[in-house]
């Protein structure tokens, strides 16, 4: 079959090894040289179209960047067919030569605050933002809103990286679901983007403006800096969010759900490790999408078990590459 597929088998160790080892050596060679699809075509033909192998080939084809871009471009030609999700790794700060997501940068600032206030924290949990906020809120003379005010101050500090944002208005999408609290798109592109927020505090709820054919609706689903107490930073807030979105009285607007259910969905800036994303995706019925695509940067580490989970439950195709280069390529329609 290797010969029929035009693949040289000389470099593969097949002699004097068990059958299992021979297959393992073959598969490793095929993956290393990007020859899996070429081999599968012959293998499927010889084995009379085995269903599992056909599915495997389809998954490989969906994951192929060369084949993905034409598909994504065709989707984006039809404005109503696509919804973009922006994850926590999309909002970034450059501090000297280092780049941090906002949540990570906020966490580092909290760490310094705790040291200044002489508040202990467990080193093993220092990267857990929810835990660090809990420790910060044990300070003397803590006032409700101090955490959010600190976050807002950091958000207003210099260093935000806006490189990715400049590409987004070019997509002319009906809806962007933003899991970050920023208002960059509506602030910098007011003629092209309009902001709405899911506000679990109900202190300053944003009326749902509806969908506008002339503008992209940016929906801040985990709160907004326009009302800092609405922002979902902690597990306590995540639990409150979960309770609200399953309640018909406080659910996510049906217009959002209807559009998401009927659209291709593209995800940028997610590492998919936070449990409340699974709740959100369940509420939005992502398993019923035509197709979901996740871009993640070459420097981002996504756990294999998370990739498998989202592939299985949400038909997610993962594309690992330079995110800005991919945005530019997709926009070149």
pLDDT per residue as tens digits for the range 294-314: 887 766 677 778 888 888 888
pLDDT value of position 224: 92
- What digits encode the pLDDT tens for the residues 228-270? 888 988 888 888 888 888 888 888 888 898 888 888 888 888 8
- Residues 211-215: contacts with CB within 8 Å, 24+ apart? 211/174, 211/175, 211/255, 211/259, 213/174, 215/191
- What digits encode the pLDDT tens for the residues 61-102? 555 555 566 666 666 655 557 889 999 888 999 988 888 999
Strands of the 264-268 sheet, one edge to the other: 193-197, 216-220, 175-178, 82-86, 264-268, 292-296, 316-320
Strands (E), the chain: 82-86, 92-95, 98-101, 160-161, 175-178, 193-197, 216-220, 264-268, 292-296, 316-320
pLDDT value of position 286: 80
Closest C-alpha among 22, 32, 49 to residue 40 = 49
DSSP 80-144: GGEEEEE-TTSSEEEETTEEEEHHHHHHHHHHHHHHHTT----GGGTT-HHHHHHHHTTSTT--T
pLDDT value of position 217: 93
Closest C-alpha among 121, 276, 144 to residue 198 = 276
Place of tokens 């197709």: 291
pLDDT band (50, 70, 90) for residue 114: very high
- What digits encode the pLDDT tens for the residues 166-196? 888 877 788 999 999 999 999 999 999 999 9
pLDDT value of position 123: 92
pLDDT value of position 298: 62
Closest C-alpha among 189, 256, 250 to residue 220 = 256
Which residues, in sequence order, are bridge partners of residue 100? 93
Q: Which residues contact 238 (CB under 8 A, 6 or more apart)?
A: 232, 274, 275, 276, 279
Cα–Cα distance for residue pair 142/61, rounded to 1 Å:
54
Average pLDDT for residues 98-121, to the nearest whole number? Answer: 92
> Using DSSP, how many helices (H) and how many strands (E) does the chain show?
13, 10
Which phi and psi angles does 175 have, rounded to 5°? -150, 135
pLDDT band (50, 70, 90) for residue 120: very high
Instruction: Pick the more confident residue, 119 or 271.
Output: 119
Cα–Cα distance for residue pair 192/184, rounded to 1 Å:
12
DSSP 37-51: HHHHHHHHHHTT--H
Q: What is the mean pLDDT of the chain?
A: 81
Asked if residue 104 has pLDDT above 60, the reply is yes
Cα–Cα distance for residue pair 307/296, rounded to 1 Å:
11
- What digits encode the pLDDT tens for the residues 127-153? 999 999 999 999 888 888 888 889 999
Angle at CA 199, nearest 5°, toward 257 and 278? Answer: 50
């Amino acid at each position: 079959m290797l010969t029929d597929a035009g693949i040289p088998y000389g470099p593969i160790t097949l002699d004097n090894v068990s059958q299992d080892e021979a297959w393992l050596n073959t598969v490793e060679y095929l993956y290393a040289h990007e020859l899996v699809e070429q081999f599968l075509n012959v293998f499927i033909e010889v084995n009379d179209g085995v269903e599992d192998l056909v599915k495997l080939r389809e998954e490989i084809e969906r994951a192929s960047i060369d084949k993905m871009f034409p598909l994504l471009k065709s989707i984006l030609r039809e404005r109503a067919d696509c919804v973009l999700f922006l994850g926590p790794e999309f909002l970034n700060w450059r501090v000297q030569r280092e780049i941090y997501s906002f949540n990570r940068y906020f966490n580092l600032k909290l760490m310094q605050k705790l040291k200044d206030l002489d508040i202990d924290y467990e080193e093993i949990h220092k990267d857990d933002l929810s835990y660090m906020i809990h420790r910060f809120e044990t300070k003397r003379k803590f006032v409700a809103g101090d955490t959010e005010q600190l976050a807002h101050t950091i958000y207003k500090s210099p260093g935000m990286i806006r490189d990715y944002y400049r590409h987004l208005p070019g997509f002319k999408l009906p809806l962007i679901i933003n899991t970050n609290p920023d208002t960059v798109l509506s602030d910098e592109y007011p003629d092209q983007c309009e902001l709405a927020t899911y506000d679990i505090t109900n202190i300053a709820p944003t009326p749902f403006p509806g969908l506008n054919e002339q503008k992209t609706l940016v929906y801040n689903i985990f709160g907004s800096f326009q009302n800092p107490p609405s922002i979902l930073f902690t597990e306590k807030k995540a639990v409150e969010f979960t309770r609200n979105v399953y309640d018909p009285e406080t659910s996510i607007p049906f217009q959002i759900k209807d559009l998401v259910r009927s659209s291709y969905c593209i995800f940028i800036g997610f590492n998919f490790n936070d449990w409340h994303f699974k709740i959100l995706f369940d509420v939005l019925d992502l398993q019923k999408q035509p197709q979901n695509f996740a871009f993640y940067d070459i420097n981002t580490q996504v756990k294999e078990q998370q990739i498998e989970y989202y592939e299985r439950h949400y038909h997610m195709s993962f594309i690992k590459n330079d995110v800005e280069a991919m945005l530019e390529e997709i926009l070149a329609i």
